């Protein structure tokens, strides 16, 4: 992901989340966070999805992942998550974590298919609804 991708990334972010990250947040991640790793998924030259993660020591933390609504259900989420796992391994990570809303059944199924297991709850994690977050871990990256 580059700053040039941000208009398309922000459109997907706004369509995907009730409290989307701002352009400033993405710019800060891309330009100033040495732990951050971000990518976009392209289909026919168009950004159709993206993901980000922070890598600290041997752990990768997925910060965000989204697919444009018009391209959901076509396997892009699987491809994006697989690529993030691959890149995490290349950076020396052995495990990966993320948070997900209990109400996001589609994402939870994707993560479970990738071997993520629920390990805890963050109470009131999502500020828009005070919904809890399920903390999921994958302990053995490929």
Q: Could you list the active site residues?
A: 99, 111
Question: What is the model's pLDDT at position 59?
Answer: 98
Measure the CA–CA gap between 69 and 9, rounded to whole angstroms.
Answer: 12
Question: What is the model's pLDDT at position 108?
Answer: 97
Measure the CA–CA gap between 133 and 142, rounded to whole angstroms.
Answer: 25
Structure tokens at 60: 């990768």
Question: What is the model's pLDDT at position 70?
Answer: 97
Q: In the chain, how many domains are there?
A: 1
CA 88 from chain centre, in angstroms, equals 13
CATH number of the CATH domain containing 128: 3.40.630.30
115: nearest Cα among 99, 130, 95, 132: 95
Residue ranges making up the domain that contains 21? 3-138
Question: What is the model's pLDDT at position 128?
Answer: 84
Question: What is the model's pLDDT at position 129?
Answer: 85
SS (H, E, C) the chain: CCHHHHHHHHHHHHHHCCCCCCHHHHHHHHHHCCCEEEEEEEECCEEEEEEEEEEECCEEEEEEEEECHHHCCCCHHHHHHHHHHHHHHHCCCCEEEEEECCCCHHHHHHHHHCCCEEEEEECCCCCCCCCCEEEEEECCCC
- Residue-by-residue pLDDT tens, the chain, 142 positions: 999 999 999 999 999 998 899 999 999 999 999 999 999 999 999 999 999 999 999 999 999 999 999 999 999 999 999 999 999 999 999 999 999 999 999 999 999 999 999 999 999 988 888 899 999 999 988 7
Prediction pTM value: 0.93
Question: What is the model's pLDDT at position 126?
Answer: 86
Question: What is the model's pLDDT at position 104?
Answer: 93
């Amino acid at each position: 992901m580059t700053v040039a991708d941000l208009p398309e990334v922000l459109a997907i972010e706004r369509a995907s989340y009730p409290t989307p990250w701002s352009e400033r947040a993405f710019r800060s991640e891309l330009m100033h966070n040495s732990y951050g790793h971000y990518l976009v998924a392209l289909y026919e030259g168009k950004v159709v999805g993206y993901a980000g993660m922070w890598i600290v020591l041997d752990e990768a933390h997925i910060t965000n992942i989204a697919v444009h609504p018009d391209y959901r259900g076509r396997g892009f989420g699987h491809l994006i998550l697989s690529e993030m796992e691959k890149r995490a391994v290349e950076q020396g990570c052995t495990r990966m974590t993320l948070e997900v809303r209990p109400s996001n059944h589609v994402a939870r199924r994707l993560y479970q298919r990738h071997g993520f297991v629920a390990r805890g709850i963050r109470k009131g994690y999502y500020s828009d609804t005070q919904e809890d977050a399920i903390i999921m871990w994958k302990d053995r990256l490929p």
